[in-house]
Amino acid sequence: MDIKNLGVFTKRIDLENAFEKDDEIRKEYKGVYLILREPTTEETFKSQNNNDYAMKLIPDLIIDHNIEDGGERAGNDKVKAMLKASSTLYTYVAQEWGNALPLARRSASKSSEQAEPSSTESAS
C-alpha cells in the first residue's frame, strides 16, 4: 500500500439507499456509489465549530464513484454538483459518512458506555 493512503479511512456509500421509500428513484440509483475519504487533520480542525465549512467539505472528500455522464465516467466536478443539487442525497451521504468515521464510532460507544449503569451499582 502506498504510504500516502496508509491509515486513511474510506467509506463506500450506495446512493440507492437514500431513497428507500421511492422505488422509482431508487431504481435510477441502483448500483451507484461514492467512496469518500476521511478528512485530513487540517480539514478536521477547520470544520470544528464551523458547520458551513464542514458541509462544503463533504463533496471534496469524494475519491471514487461509478457515476456516468453520457456513457462516460463523470468528472468529479459534475458529481459534486449532482450531490449539492439534492438535499436528500447530500444529507444521506453526510450522515452515512459521519456515522462511519472511526472517531465518531468510538465517541458514540464511549457515550453509550457512560449512559449505561455500572453492574456494581445497587438496584433500588
pLDDT single digits (tens) 41-54: 898 888 888 888 87
Task: Answer whether residue 112 is part of any domain.
Answer: no
Within a domain: residue 116? no
Q: Which three cell numbers stand for residue 34?
A: 461514492
Residue 124 maps to a domain: no
Q: What is the pLDDT of residues 59-99, one digit of tens each?
A: 899 999 999 999 999 998 999 898 889 898 999 998 998 88
Query: Is 50 contained in some domain?
Result: yes
pLDDT confidence bin for 102, thresholds 50/70/90? confident
CB neighbour class for 10 (10 Å; exposed up to 12, middle 13-18, buried from 19): middle
CATH number at 19 reads 3.30.2220
- Position 65 in a domain: yes
* Number of domains composing the chain: 1
Q: What is the CA radius of gyration of the chain?
A: 18
Q: From CA 93, how far away is CA 99, in angstroms rounded?
A: 10
Q: Is residue 122 part of a domain?
A: no
The tens digit of pLDDT for each residue in 1-38 reads: 555 555 678 999 999 888 887 888 888 888 999 999 98
- Domain presence at residue 123: no
- The amino acid at 68: E
Residue 122 has pLDDT above 90, yes or no: no
- The range of the structural domain enclosing residue 43 comes to 3-105
